[in-house]
Structure 1
Amino acid sequence: MSDFSLKGIVDSTLREGEQRAGVFFEHHQKLDIIEKLTALGVEEIELGVATPRSPELLTLVPDALQIAKRKVKIALWSRCNEEDIHFAGQCKPDTLSLSIPVSDILIREKLAHTRSWVLEKLDRSITKALELGFEKVSVGLEDATRAEPEFLVRVAQLINSSGASRLRLADTVGIGSPGSITALVNRVTEATSLEVGVHTHNDFGMATANAIAALEAGAQWIDATVLGLGERTGNCRLEEIVGFLSLQKEMRRYQADNLKTLCDTVAAAAQTYIHPHHPVIGKEIFTCESGLHVHGLAVNPKTYEPYDPLKLGRDRTLLFGSKTGKRAIQHTLRSAGMTFSSEQAEDLVQKIRFLAKSGAKPLVENELIRLAQQRLHSA
């Protein structure tokens, strides 16, 4: 069982995920995704960016709240901008997630302001959000992994004293590692009593690992997107996080068998491709041809599988081809009630390898049995 203090997953597919170039979700597609995320069991769904330039949120938020039925919190992301915060108030989500840069490069180059301005702006924005009566006010610190540590702690302490309930550390350019994310989470948890979350990017392929490291360090919230959709190389993948938490850490609150349908829905809406060996949901991840592994799986699937594919509503496929070994064939045929001598099995191996190298596809189990029967009858 898990010893994580996880309070929840914030799914940002409809906000961060839609920022991927060329991705746009229609209203009905968003509702379909919200429904499937609710069935999966995530705790919060971030619908988009609160701004008067997105009037569709005035309809989407109440529609999402109706689907969620209080099982899932509905959130909007907002800059520390008074007009945007007021617009978010009109939309009435459960959670308002304010965001502000905290690295010097973004404060100077993007905002053209100072650290003092950030502190003042943040304090006013939190106060305004609380006055508008949001159920929960969260604050995201953009580019936290490049922020000066002492300033980061100062900002975190201001958030704590201003009345917000959650701090969200963003690895905006994906430079974090499990070790550095652990140190970052430790730094803010020691300095505040806030709930801490992380928003990780995948620029060096560590977004999911960094999110898990944050949980191990005591973070209570993690952000994710379906298929890791997001800017550049994307974000922490929801399917990997849910797969790990439910299948490895035995968190029963998440319905991992719903992942494939959710991911297929998002892939179709985003017009993207799911690689057959994509972790957790790839259609070929339970297909095996290597002789060593086929034999192990035939004897006891736990030898080479981290979890039972049935837990995801999937089937295991053993293939027999150019990589096939004699022991795997003998065990498979023995399970089917057929006895082959060592010499007969070796002859069958050579035949299977010849067929594979001649361009034929590897054989599935019933084809292997049929071929074995033919070889016996012709002997």
Structure 2
Amino acid sequence: MEDRDFINELEINPSTNLLERSQFEYSLQDVEEPNLYRMLFNYSEVPKLIFNRRLVPMGMPEQIWITDTTFRDGQQSREPYTTQQIVDLFDMLHRLGGPNGIIRQSEFFLYSQKDRDAVYKCMERGYEFPEITSWIRASKKDFEMVKELGMKETGILVSCSDYHIFYKLKMTRRQAIEHYMRVITECIEMGIRPRCHFEDITRADFYGFVVPFVLQLSKLMKESGVPIKIRACDTMGYGVGIPGVALPRSVPGIIYGLRHHARIPSELIEWHGHNDFYRAVSNSTTAWLYGASGVNCSLLGIGERTGNCPIEAMVIEYAQLRGTLDGMDTTVITEIAEYYEKELGYRIPPRTPFVGEDFNVTRAGVHADGLLKNEEIYNIFDTDLLLNRPPKVMVSNTSGASGIAHWLNSHFRLKGENAFDKQDPIVIELKGWVDKEYEEGRVTAISDGELEELSLALAEKQGRTIG
């Protein structure tokens, strides 16, 4: 390469004001045998984490957002939602995301009449956010269905690891790319924006397949003028956000590589993570930090196997990173949790953050005493204000008078001069009853119903009104 050609490939990076190379050439490595990264993924062992200590810079985009897959990936692991249930949940997603559209899109299956009816009814709502998108098989018939429904974007599966290319598709890498490019071109010709789901990216040859493929997509974008979104799918949850981890498991490496080497802008990069190794939330946050504008999630994290990243978790992550909710209504999180339990019969594990029945419940007497004096001591934030869930105390043999007083105040929503303290006669009498229950062999916690009935009876006996 002549010096003049090299100079033409240099530009000032507006984010760093440093002179950097702007063009990269990565050729497809069309191997004869699949690269299965057996040093990492020996099927008879727990996967290994390999470090190369290569660090890439953080680069959070100016705008970040959440996209929803509740009605696509979320329906692959539970009984299908009814049309009305989809509409109800879609309404709540709209309210949760707020007027600024922090929950930017929601994707739907289109294969059954029920799914299509749900799409029509959700479209009738007329919401700007979440935008309704689809996920389809790569066929002309399905593209026509998307067009008929009036959708502007659809997801297309483009599996990218050799596990999928060689063993599922029975193709070579070159054949896979040629097949994908035909399908994506056809999608664009139909007037639909493609969203390419790079399935199993955390087991893929990143520089031997992913980047060369994305560079072809970049060329197609320039030629067509149609944006092509890249969804990096951590299908098996192998992604790791720890700095210095080697590809293909490095989330920072994947996102940085898509931005810097494949030259994809942040607004066209989306992370889709699974929770097989308990990393769904941390990996999604890492994807934001290193340059992906979108993170794809589902309500309550319901999805294939261990599930997706929970939307409610990333709502709270957004607020922590940005210092603001940007119009999101976090009290809707509690409404969603109640809807799943009461309307759908879905049992949320009680200690699940933000949505579990006991996520802000304390049982220890010393903690209850702290809550009674100042709830900031043992509550993560004002859960009453932000989630419509005041901190609670579960009364047991360790709760003490402080725990009982706090239970009374939270259960009956008492504040100020109406609130109980641990010296109140009703509190003392309740504690005596609780102590007697456990002295006589009780091993379970005291239920809210028991305490409510007894406390109201004691108040009536003393000629008092609670509240």
Does TM, normalized by the shorter one, top 0.5? yes
**Among 222, 228, 232, the residue aligned to 1:165:** 228
Which whole-Å deviations, capped at 9, do the CAs of 1:145-191 have from their partners, x for residues lacking one? 11012121122222222223321000111122223222221221212
Check the 8 A contact 2:108/2:134 in 1, yes or no. yes
Does 1:106 pair with 2:188?
A: no
Show the counterpart of 2:238.
Answer: 175
- Distance in 2 (alpha carbons) for counterparts of 1:266 and 1:337: 36
Q: Which has the larger radius of gyration?
A: 2
Show the counterpart of 1:71.
Answer: 129
| Secondary structure at the counterpart of residue 101 of structure 1 | coil
Does 1:317 pair with 2:373?
A: no
| Secondary structure at the counterpart of residue 158 of structure 2 | strand
- TM-score scaled by structure 2? 0.68
1:7: how far off? Answer: 3.4
- Distance in 2 (alpha carbons) for counterparts of 1:338 and 1:87: 65
The AA in structure 2 aligned to 1:356 is Y
Does 1:9 pair with 2:75?
A: no
1:349: how far off? Answer: 8.0
Show the counterpart of 2:317.
Answer: 244
- Distance in 2 (alpha carbons) for counterparts of 1:148 and 1:37: 36
The AA in structure 2 aligned to 1:171 is D
- Distance in 1 (alpha carbons) for counterparts of 2:259 and 2:61: 15
Show the counterpart of 1:377.
Answer: none
Could you tell which deviates more after superposition, 246-255 or 222-231? Answer: 246-255
- Distance in 2 (alpha carbons) for counterparts of 1:270 and 1:330: 34
The AA in structure 2 aligned to 1:113 is M
**Among 255, 268, 279, the residue aligned to 1:206:** 279
**Among 81, 86, 96, the residue aligned to 1:25:** 81
- Distance in 2 (alpha carbons) for counterparts of 1:270 and 1:328: 33
Could you tell which deviates more after superposition, 325-334 or 199-208? Answer: 325-334
1:58: how far off? Answer: 4.6
- Report which of the two has the higher share of helix: 1
Check the 8 A contact 1:85/1:129 in 2, yes or no. yes
Check the 8 A contact 2:371/2:406 in 1, yes or no. no
Show the counterpart of 1:188.
Answer: 258
Show the counterpart of 2:94.
Answer: 38
Could you tell which deviates more after superposition, 327-336 or 87-96? Answer: 327-336
Does 1:142 pair with 2:205?
A: no
Going from structure 1 to structure 2, the CA distance change for 1:266 and 1:122 (only over 3 Å counts) comes to farther
Which whole-Å deviations, capped at 9, do the CAs of 1:208-244 have from their partners, x for residues lacking one? 2211121122211011111222111111112222233
Could you tell which deviates more after superposition, 67-76 or 166-175? Answer: 67-76
**Among 121, 125, 137, the residue aligned to 2:179:** 121
* Structure 2 unaligned residues grouped into runs of 5+: 1-59, 98-102, 222-226, 243-249, 409-416, 462-467
- Distance in 1 (alpha carbons) for counterparts of 2:152 and 2:189: 14
1:350: how far off? Answer: 9.0
Check the 8 A contact 1:6/1:219 in 2, yes or no. no
Supply the RMSD in Å over aligned alpha carbons. 3.4
- Distance in 2 (alpha carbons) for counterparts of 1:317 and 1:204: 31
- TM-score scaled by structure 1? 0.82
| Secondary structure at the counterpart of residue 86 of structure 1 | helix
Number of matched pairs: 362
Going from structure 1 to structure 2, the CA distance change for 1:117 and 1:81 (only over 3 Å counts) comes to farther
Check the 8 A contact 2:194/2:229 in 1, yes or no. yes
Could you tell which deviates more after superposition, 305-314 or 80-89? Answer: 80-89
1:196: how far off? Answer: 1.1
